[in-house]
Amino acid sequence: MLIDVPFAENLIDTHLVVDVRTPLEYREDHIPGAINVPLLDNEERVEIGILHKHSGPHAARLRGLELTAARFPLIVSEIAAAAAGRRTLVYCWRGGLRSRTVASILELTGFPVSRLQGGYKSYRSHVTSFFSPFHPPGPLVVIHGLTGVGKTSLLHRLDRERYTVIDLEGIARHRGSAFGDLGLSQDLSQKRFESLLWDAFRHSPPGRQIIVEGESRRIGRLSLPGDLYEAMQAGIKVWCAASLETRVDRLIEEYGRPGYKDGMADALLRIRKRLGGEKYDEIAGYLERWELRPFMTELLVGYYDRVYYKTREWREDTAISLEDYDTAIRELDEFLGARVG
């Protein structure tokens, strides 16, 4: 008998999860680890929807059968190969006809299968509830510091056995600043962003310190979900410092690629009002001549240091220098070790 099961995290860790929605629906968001074996393609789903609206459910179901029946053997073989003996969990948008059809075919052919009760909507409700109210599985440690100081580089050097490191900007595919999309494509949806964050947090062992970089509520066009921003504001705050010269060097290393020049010019134009016309002309001239050191210096002094962290309503719990990453990591380890002890 076909079993409908409510969403639970252990299901996606023990089952092959199969999303039978269209490729477009899957691309917008899906349960982490799920494979896409669509019953209908994008155009067919639109056709069935229009037919259902104008001719009713019976006509739509008959047409759906015409479109999909010949694919049933391929669907079964694809899922069976991916499952490799595991039980399969099938879902569609809300636990309706598409998942019932595929799950029934699998059951009839002898494969162990369950259907997700409520479909993707039930999973989505779980993710939304996870972040509101948000209770991280371990203490949140938030790395702050001025632009170019090297916060992201520090994160990537930390011991992943000792800490859970969640790169918010990496997941969002944006560096969170006016120039944050250079070389990146923020082509994921808000829902997908939230799914990836949920998956990262849920895999953190209970009680382990979770280290993230300080962000505003938005990273590019994406927003931190639920109460995550508030939880970060209440977390352990570490201020990172480095000299202006070091920050300029690091920005040149990251952005100093000729292929970024046009994108940098576009980003500079977007902040022209904040800079003022005279300062904009000066900085734009450096960029046009590809004089990166004065360009980065003036950008930091004339824009980033003025706009970001202009006022802080909080005090850091500790401060470390990022002039040398190895030294900074030792200092951070000592500080956070004492917090645990």
The residues annotated with a catalytic role in the active site are 92
Contact 141, 336 (CB under 8 A): yes
Contact 242, 323 (CB under 8 A): yes
Contact 193, 226 (CB under 8 A): no
Beta bridge partners of 115: 4, 90
- Could you give the angle at which helices 119-130 and 190-202 cross, rounded to 10 degrees? 70
Amino acid (1-letter code) at residue 314: W
Q: 91: closest CA among 79, 80, 100?
A: 100
> Concatenated DSSP letters for 17-37?
EEE-S-HHHHHH---TT-EE-
Whole-number CA gyration radius for the chain: 25
Q: Which two tokens stand for residue 320?
A: 């470390």
SS3 90: strand
> Concatenated DSSP letters for 138-152?
S-EEEEEE-TTS-HH
Element (H, E) at 237: strand 236-241
Q: What CA–CA distance (Å, rounded) separates 55 from 178?
A: 51
Cβ atoms within 10 Å, residue 29: 21
> Residue 201 — φ and ψ, nearest 5°?
-70, -40
Q: 209: closest CA among 317, 309, 123?
A: 317
Give the position of tokens 């879902």: 91
